[in-house]
């Protein structure tokens, strides 16, 4: 296979930078969530509602990204969405009330929804030029960005740096990185139709002959039993992923963890998920997606349950690491299955399941927050335990066939 041109290599670097800064921006304040909750005087149910506003922004505004990319191009939309996202970062740290924070998170979620879709679209353009799969590497860089953000959040908390100043510094550094590399993104308009991306995605995620990709169907044709089950699969996945990101600092603060360690739950999760993503392909190729999901979810649910029963800081941090490895292959597996929905083009299936996943980010904090407010945060964390055990039989939905009984 011929080596990529220098311009294509630079484009790959530029897309990687977009994924890294997006991961940093979204993760850097999460280790300090307990501090934000205390400063604003929010109970667990109110915090869950505030956090859900961020997901609601992406759910409502994210679908507009397709129209924006069609009228412009994925490179320009990615950069403009990031520029629009930047001012929200310092505001997270200086929010004077829960309502203000909810509005800022809606803004952050909305711009992230557009950026996420646009940078993935541009990543697929780069992948098409390469002639082989590189999109998984971009998501690996997002995970690395999340690790960096979590470490920065934990360090600034331990050093007593105000959150507003910390987020301002992150915004400035991220802006410099994007300004340096944005000109390397691929020029010109994106393909006029979804065919190129659909075929590229099919080639990257399946062994099927690209000519066998089914013809396009209407939106009504997408609403199949298989799509609904994949939607439920992603919803349960999001509920599990949401725990280390949004509730770790709350739980660890509640059991008396030190200020220096309350951010370590999320940090352990992101590091473990990054490792799991880079090593997950080998496991899937050897044992199949269904077997990997079944084992990982059984272990994940058990590990979190045992950690809550033990009730110590390090037991919970260890459970977060297990969760990170366990969920690493889940979302890619759902996207893979979405490319194989009978009668639905891969790109359309992926878009539908991705939208359902964003709905999960709205429901997950509401579910955990409601239970935590009534019974305590430890009981709130039993929601993802239930989700993990439900995913064991539901993993049958990943099998590439039209009728999938749950066994």
Q: Is the pLDDT of residue 149 over 60?
A: yes
pLDDT at 393: 92
3-state secondary structure of 212: helix
Instruction: Report, as an integer, the average pLDDT of 374-400.
Output: 85
Angle at 159 between CA 153 and CA 162, to 5 degrees: 65
Q: Alpha-carbon dihedral of residues 90, 94, 98, 103, nearest 10 degrees?
A: -30
Q: Residue 202 — pLDDT band, cuts 50, 70, 90?
A: very low
pLDDT at 343: 66
Q: Tell me, yes or no, if the two domains 1-205 and 219-407 fold the same way.
A: yes
Q: Is the pLDDT of residue 406 over 70?
A: no
Q: Is the pLDDT of residue 398 over 50?
A: yes
3-state helix, strand, coil in the chain (%, to 5): 80, 0, 20
Contact 102, 53 (CB under 8 A): yes
Q: Is the pLDDT of residue 210 over 50?
A: no
Q: Is the pLDDT of residue 121 over 90?
A: no
345: alpha, beta or left? (left if phi > 0; alpha if psi -120 to 50): beta
pLDDT at 253: 83
Tokens encoding 76: 């320009």
Domain ranges of the chain: 1-205, 219-407
Q: Is 23 exposed, middle or buried (0-12, 13-18, 19+ CB in 10 A)?
A: buried
- Kindly calculate the radius of gyration of the chain based on its CA atoms and give it in whole angstroms: 20
Of 215 and 186, the structure prediction assigns the larger pLDDT to 186
State pLDDT tens for residues 46-102.
887 888 888 788 878 876 776 787 778 889 999 999 999 999 999 998 999 999 999
The fold adopted by the segment(s) 219-407 is Growth Hormone; Chain: A; (1.20.1250)
pLDDT at 32: 87
CATH of 1-205, one of 1.20.1250.20, 3.40.50.720, 1.10.40.30, 1.10.1740.10: 1.20.1250.20
**Percentage above 70 pLDDT, the chain:** 83
pLDDT at 242: 78
Tokens encoding 244: 């280390």
pLDDT at 105: 94
Of 13 and 158, the structure prediction assigns the larger pLDDT to 13
- How far is it, in rounded angstroms, from Cα 116 to Cα 328? 18
Q: How many CB atoms are located within 10 Å of the residue 92 CB?
A: 23
């Amino acid at each position: 296979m011929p080596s990529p041109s220098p311009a294509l290599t630079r484009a790959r670097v530029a897309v990687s930078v977009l994924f890294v800064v997006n991961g940093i921006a979204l993760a850097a304040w999460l280790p300090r969530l307990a501090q934000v909750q205390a400063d604003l005087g929010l109970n667990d149910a109110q915090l869950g509602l505030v956090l859900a506003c961020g997901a609601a922004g992406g759910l409502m505004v994210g679908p507009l990204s397709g129209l924006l990319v069609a009228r412009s191009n994925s490179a320009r939309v990615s950069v403009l969405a990031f520029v629009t996202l930047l001012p929200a970062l310092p505001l997270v740290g200086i929010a004077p009330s829960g309502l203000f924070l909810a509005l800022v998170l809606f803004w952050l979620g909305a711009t992230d929804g557009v950026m996420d879709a646009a940078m993935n679209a541009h990543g697929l353009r780069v992948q098409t030029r390469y002639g082989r799969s590189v999109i998984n590497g971009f998501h690996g860089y997002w995970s690395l960005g999340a690790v960096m953000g979590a470490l920065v959040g934990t360090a600034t908390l331990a050093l007593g740096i105000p959150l507003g100043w910390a987020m301002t510094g992150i915004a400035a550094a991220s802006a410099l990185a994007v300004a340096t590399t944005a000109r390397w993104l691929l020029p010109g308009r994106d393909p006029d139709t979804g065919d190129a991306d659909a075929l590229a995605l099919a080639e990257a995620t399946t062994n099927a002959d690209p000519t066998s990709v089914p013809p396009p169907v209407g939106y009504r044709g997408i609403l199949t039993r298989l799509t609904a089950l994949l939607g439920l699969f992603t919803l349960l996945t999001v509920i599990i992923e949401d725990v280390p990101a949004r509730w770790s600092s709350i739980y660890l603060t509640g059991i008396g963890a030190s200020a220096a360690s309350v951010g370590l739950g999320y940090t352990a999760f992101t590091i473990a998920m990054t490792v799991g993503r880079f090593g997950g392909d080998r496991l899937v190729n050897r044992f199949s997606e269904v077997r990997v999901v079944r084992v990982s979810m059984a272990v994940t649910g058990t590990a979190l349950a045992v950690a809550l029963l033990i009730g110590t800081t390090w037991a919970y941090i260890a459970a977060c690491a297990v969760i990170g490895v366990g969920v690493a292959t889940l979302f890619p597996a759902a996207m893979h299955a979405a490319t194989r929905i009978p009668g639905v083009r891969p790109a359309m299936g992926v878009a539908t399941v991705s939208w359902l996943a964003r709905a999960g980010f709205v429901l997950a904090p509401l579910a955990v927050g409601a239970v935590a407010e009534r019974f305590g945060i430890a009981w709130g964390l039993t929601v993802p335990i239930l989700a993990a055990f439900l995913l064991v039989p539901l993993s049958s939905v990943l099998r590439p066939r039209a009728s999938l009984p749950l066994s």
